[in-house]
Amino acid sequence: MNLVIPAPIQDAIGASIDFVYGFAPLAETTVVFVPQFVTDQVNNLSEVSGQDTETLNYLLGMFMCYPLGIIMAYLPYGKAKHFFSFFLGVFLLQFTIGKQWIHHMLSSMLAYAMFLILPAKQAKFWVPFMAMAYITLGHLHRQYVNYLGWDLDFTGSQMVLTMKLYSMAFNLYDGELIAKGKADRAAKRCSAFSIEKLPGILEYLGYTFCFSNILAGPAYEYKIYEAAADGSLLYTKDGKPRGKIPSAVWPTLKPFLISLFFLGVFVVGNGAFPILDPTDPQKNIPAVLTTEMLAKPIWSRYAYAWIALFFVRGKYYFAWKNAEGANNTWYAGFEGFDENGNANGWENSVNIDVLTFETAPNLKTFSAAWNKKTANWLSRYVYIRTGGSLTATYGMSAFWHGFYPGYYMFFLSIPIVTTCERLGKKKLTPRFSSGGNWTPWRIICSLSVSLVIQNMIMPFQLLAGDWGYSYLKSQYFFAHILCIVFYFVVSQLPTPKDAAKKV
């Protein structure tokens, strides 16, 4: 199952890839922070455990963030923390993806040069453009050389870096507008993250290579990183605590334990309810599309898919909760204190609210609870900067993920659901909602969101366009049809006077 590309274009692509690969020996010489004996031990552990080396490297890298975070917490504030953050970020990248770490460095330095040379008004366009172009080439290369395959390469960490560079470009622009007293609506809404001047190179690299979020995020704003690294999060300029500093033990331990639970959920559940063929997921017909599966009743097939998708989400819950705890070890996830010196919480490192996501009564809650810092990025720097365009926002999300047709089949379906949801909130919610979290109406809304979204999201996991289409066809496109019918029926209802009431 390969993409059909004309021969002349294939030749040109092949020549370009060969040209880039020609620099591989040079990039290999930069991998200097991972001793050979470490590599040998990991290879031995891989043989003993039966786990592939790439996955094992990634897991070990995630777990290493905890002891490294504890060290980070005890380092002096300022340059020592910035250097440690940068140095350990380089180490983790070299440990997990080897010579491909150089992409992170090249794109970071290119962006910094653009920040230095270009006015903020121009940098807010060209830096995001460069960052998106870089990750685009990475995605296209991955799909071209290993279509539908899975391997650990630089695109994962590059996706996190893309959000950081994209956000920083707007942060600097907003800071300039605010300093001149010309802040527009978007700049005012994002003023808490605005940056008055470009950080020094060490501070900048400490942020872009931050060890505790470089592998799986969350890509929080530069101001959040800076406050944790320079001590201003916890202390005033004269060294006095801003409030009673809370212990980081439970905020670290709790997400860590949750991450281990969901790692087990994924390993066990994905083996029992696979979506793809376990023997050859790249070439064989997916498990959800086999002849045996399609012979079952639709409710049985849907139930299997719903359960399988839940277990797949386990790997995301593991990665994000693990990263949450790692950031909390050195207070990067801490939100600081209010004006009375009371601790605010640890939301800065939270990338997933599992229970909220699984029981979301509407798409807004659903989207906000999943990959939260990516949702923030899309909201702050795409949605409100394009006048609230859902198409631009979900299109950018799909573009950022890559170019498999399954991504676009899902993301371009979401505006349909959003339109129906807005209509339902206007026409139906005032009639049936009585407030509260577990009212009958809330439960109906939660079940409806799960029913529709779990059907639409399967192509995202299948990747291939023909597989995604075949799956939706096997389900009779019921989610899309339900949305269309819902819209035409509900739109005929009169709007209640209390239309502003929300779910």
Total count of domains within the chain: 2
Q: Are residues 93 and 150 in the same domain?
A: yes
Please report the pLDDT score of residue 502 as a whole number: 46
d(CA 198, CA 118) in angstroms, rounded, equals 12
Q: Are residues 407 and 273 in the same domain?
A: yes
Q: Are residues 298 and 219 in the same domain?
A: no
Cα dihedral 287, 292, 298, 300 sign: negative
The model carries a pTM of: 0.92
Q: Are residues 155 and 99 in the same domain?
A: yes
pLDDT in tens, 330-371: 999 999 999 889 999 999 999 999 999 999 998 888 988 999
Q: Are residues 346 and 215 in the same domain?
A: no
Please report the pLDDT score of residue 187 as a whole number: 94
Instruction: Look at residues 202, 230, 258 and tell me which one is the last residue of a structural domain.
Output: 230
Instruction: Look at residues 195, 230, 265 and tell me which one is the last residue of a structural domain.
Output: 230
Backbone angles phi, psi at 492, to 5 degrees: -85, -15
499 part of a folded domain:
no
d(CA 172, CA 128) in angstroms, rounded, equals 12
User: Across the chain, how many H-helices and E-strands are there?
Assistant: 25, 0
Backbone angles phi, psi at 343, to 5 degrees: -65, 135
Q: Are residues 176 and 261 in the same domain?
A: no
18 part of a folded domain:
yes
Please report the pLDDT score of residue 220 as a whole number: 94
Q: Are residues 331 and 415 in the same domain?
A: yes
Q: Are residues 108 and 155 in the same domain?
A: yes
d(CA 158, CA 62) in angstroms, rounded, equals 16
91 part of a folded domain:
yes
148 part of a folded domain:
yes
Mean pLDDT for all residues in the chain: 92
Domain range for 424: 249-490
244 part of a folded domain:
no
pLDDT in tens, 182-218: 999 999 999 999 999 999 999 999 999 999 999 999 9
d(CA 394, CA 264) in angstroms, rounded, equals 31
Q: In this structure, what token pair is assigned to residue 54?
A: 């790439």
pLDDT at 4 over 70: no
Instruction: Look at residues 198, 230, 262 and tell me which one is the last residue of a structural domain.
Output: 230
Q: Are residues 262 and 363 in the same domain?
A: yes
Backbone angles phi, psi at 235, to 5 degrees: -130, 150
1 part of a folded domain:
no
Q: Are residues 280 and 187 in the same domain?
A: no
Q: In this structure, what token pair is assigned to residue 88?
A: 């350990």
CA-based end-to-end distance of the chain:
45
CB atoms within 10 A of CB 461: 19
Cα dihedral 425, 394, 188, 202 sign: positive
497 part of a folded domain:
no
d(CA 329, CA 252) in angstroms, rounded, equals 6
Q: Are residues 373 and 477 in the same domain?
A: yes
Banded model confidence at residue 503, pLDDT cuts 50, 70, 90: very low
Q: Are residues 53 and 170 in the same domain?
A: yes
241 part of a folded domain:
no
pLDDT in tens, 374-398: 999 999 999 999 988 888 888 898 8
Q: What is the DSSP string of 241-308?
A: BSS-PPPSHHHHHHHHHHHHHHHHHHHHHHHHS-SS-SS-TTTSPPGGGSHHHHTS-HHHHHHHHHHH
